[in-house]
Structure 1
């Protein structure tokens, strides 16, 4: 590599590292800023009652928001926007990161996917030399593929949520949510996937941009050497550690039960039913907690944390925000149930030991419920 190439690589590496550090701290500050007010409002001090009421007014939605409160609100069905954004954004991150990992960060004894990688790495193309030089250690390459794995899990989550929005939920036309809660949801589904791949996301996007530029120059010559190798994309994932697969198992546990709870809620209102009566939901984790879909969401993000290896403080802060936010909402929902129903089961709480419960199908046949409350 000539002097110009060396200087370009050094400058590019410095710029990317500076931007990456800024991005990581921006995400961390944002998660802390979102979590602290919730923690403060949860403190049992009378002096905080006004602040707590203000925060609750932002957090209320669906059945716990008075139907007459339309000021600064949007339809509850706008949850669809969250999941459309989440699917598009997570898919983009996953595509770029996975392609980058396949081309630049091979695991084990695998070599770069291009047959003539050696010529590129000795000066034939700065695209590979600049990017691969930053991921020379086995640990760095492993972390790149770990980011791919986390994004795959997130993709499974947001795709299911989008499916549920179209095929499971039946939002009431009168259900509303505060505009602040809506904007918080937009931010969350932008920042959460990004928090899972900060280790290499900038390099992945830069690499994708370089590949597009190189394609424009080399055209058909580039196409002829880039055949799709499905096993090459999948094999490194099978080489990840026990921590990643343990996290995936926890994620799948929460993922399945959240789907069951959403199926119960969604099936308890007939399509087109706009009545405002409520009954107590039963089935699955509804037998032990008032908002089991919230509990399942916490487990999902706990699984992501375990799969990450627990070494990224940004993901810890992401989980902290999810737990604080959903616990705060679950407490209000639980109080709403107690006020609404005199015969509400008092053994239900915000958390508890999970036990075997009836299936989603059994609950769906016997109970009606007329609103949906989800993250």
Structure 2
């Protein structure tokens, strides 16, 4: 019997991982209540009593995953910054030296030449946008947010690191094949004109949302700024930020970079499930009437 060989380009591999991860999150969201809380509830929404109660009634294999401090969120942005520095160093190495980025770019160009057309200027723009997000989040972790003893499951932490590693590659994989195309065209200018305002709004508003959360004397129902209209506006801003990256890096003839779009889809799915859990927790703690008039994460849709 002949063997069927399926070869995926580097970009397709990254896209497949993001989509598969989204499916895993959705699968966890439809688990029975106890198992769902075990895997998806984290941070201030989970008390120690709840952890012990869930652990007693859940599968021992799942509970063996362990917990890490919720404050380890800073490692996501530190790890992404290290990855970004690595790929940047690879990009600016001498042209006659082989490296991982150049090999990935060449493979992408050979297997999917039509998709590897993002210009060098777009690459620089998206790199700066994502670094601004990572640096701001690092600042918030150490300066804005209050110290907390809450925890998250080890699985959450590992998945988060994997996401930022994937995003660090996604930014380069469809751009590095044509590093000499450094000038903006009319088309790329239009994409930047759409992406930058979306990014700026999401970036600034997410910062204000996090400041509002940090100002609460104790973890209670926030009702300032965008929290008047959305249960999790900081998640909505995150979705906006990653969607803007996909637009800014879109290859010629397209309005979205498919690899970064798959990353944005994972962000929407992951945070959408978490936001639903947050709304349920708020309703149980403060009463459904407090959240009934608010959208969960996306205005007019969800």
TM tier relative to shorter chain? 0.7 to 0.9
TM-score (norm. length: structure 2):
0.75
Does the 8 Å contact 2:199/2:240 carry over to 1? Answer: yes
**What is the aligned partner in structure 1 of residue 200 from structure 2?**
252
- Aligned structure 1 segments of 4 or more residues deviating by more than 6 angstroms: none
Post-superposition shift, 1:148? Answer: 2.1
Residue of structure 2 aligned with 1:172, choices 119, 134, 148: 148
Residue 322 (structure 1) aligned with residue 267 (structure 2): yes
Of 192, 196, 220 in structure 2, the residue corresponding to residue 279 of structure 1 is: 220
Distance 2:291 2:274 in 1: 19
CA shift at 1:149, angstroms?
1.6
- TM-aligned CA deviation for residue 91 of structure 1: 3.3
Question: Secondary structure at 1:74's aligned position in 2?
Answer: strand
Q: Equivalents in 2 of 1:56, 1:202: separation in Å? A: 44
| Equivalent-residue separation in structure 2 for 1:237 and 1:93 (angstroms) | 22
After TM superposition, the structure 1 = structure 2 runs for residues 176-187 of structure 1, keeping only pairs within 5 Å, are: 176-187=151-162
Residue 289 (structure 2) pairs with residue 346 (structure 1): no
CA distance in 2, matches of 1:186, 1:201: 23
Is contact 2:117–2:177 with CA below 8 Å preserved after alignment?
no
TM-score (norm 1): 0.62
How far did residue 40 of structure 1 move? 4.2
How far is the alpha carbon of 1:179 from its aligned partner? 0.6
Counterparts of 1:341 and 1:334, CA distance in 2: 10
Q: How does 1:188-227 map to 2 (within 5 A)?
A: 188-201=163-176
User: Which structure is larger by alpha-carbon Rg, 1 or 2?
Assistant: 1
SS of the residue aligned with 2:174?
coil
> Partner of 1:197: helix, strand, or coil?
helix
The number of equivalent residue pairs is: 262
Contact 1:298–1:323 at 8 Å: present in 2 too? yes
2:40 maps to what in 1?
A: 59
In structure 2, relative to structure 1, the CA distance for the partners of 1:202 and 1:81 (3 Å cut) is farther
Tell me if the contact between 1:94 and 1:148 (Cα under 8 Å) persists in the aligned partners.
no
CA shift, 1:21, in A, is 5.2
Q: Whole-Å Cα distance in 1 between the matches of residues 206 and 74 of structure 2? A: 17
Gap runs ≥5 in structure 2: 1-6, 53-62
- Partners of 1:22 and 1:56 in 2: how far apart? 37
- C-alpha distance 237-350 of structure 1, shift in aligned 2 (>3 A): same
Pairing 1:313–2:258 present: yes
Matching of residue 157 in structure 1 with residue 133 in structure 2: yes
Deviations 1:247-288 (A, max 9, x none): 11111111111000001112224xxxxxxx532212111011
SS at match of 1:346: coil
Cα distance, 1:65 vs structure 2: 2.0
For residues 92 and 350 of structure 1, the distance between their equivalents in structure 2, rounded to whole angstroms, comes to 37
Check conservation: 2:203, 2:241, Cα contact below 8 A: yes
Q: Distance in 2 between matches of 1:34 and 1:81?
A: 20
- Report the CA distance between 1:172 and its aligned residue: 1.3
1 CA distance for matches of 2:132 and 2:119?
20
SS in 1 for 2:48: coil
Distance 1:308 1:56, change over 3 A: farther
Q: Which residue number in structure 1 is paired with residue 57 of structure 2?
A: none
1:39 to 2, 26, 34: 26
- Identify if the C-alpha distance between structure 1 residues 345 and 152 changes in structure 2 by more than 3 Å, giving closer, same or farther: same
List per-residue Cα deviations over 1:221-262 (Å, max 9, x = no partner).
xxxxxxxxxxxxxx8469842112311111111111100000
Distance (Å, rounded) in 2 between the aligned partners of 1:350 and 1:196: 29
Q: Is the 8 A contact 1:143 1:199 kept in 2?
A: no
State the alpha-carbon separation in 1 of the partners of residues 148 and 97 from structure 2: 52
Task: Verify the 8 A CA contact 1:91 1:155 in the aligned structure 2.
Answer: no
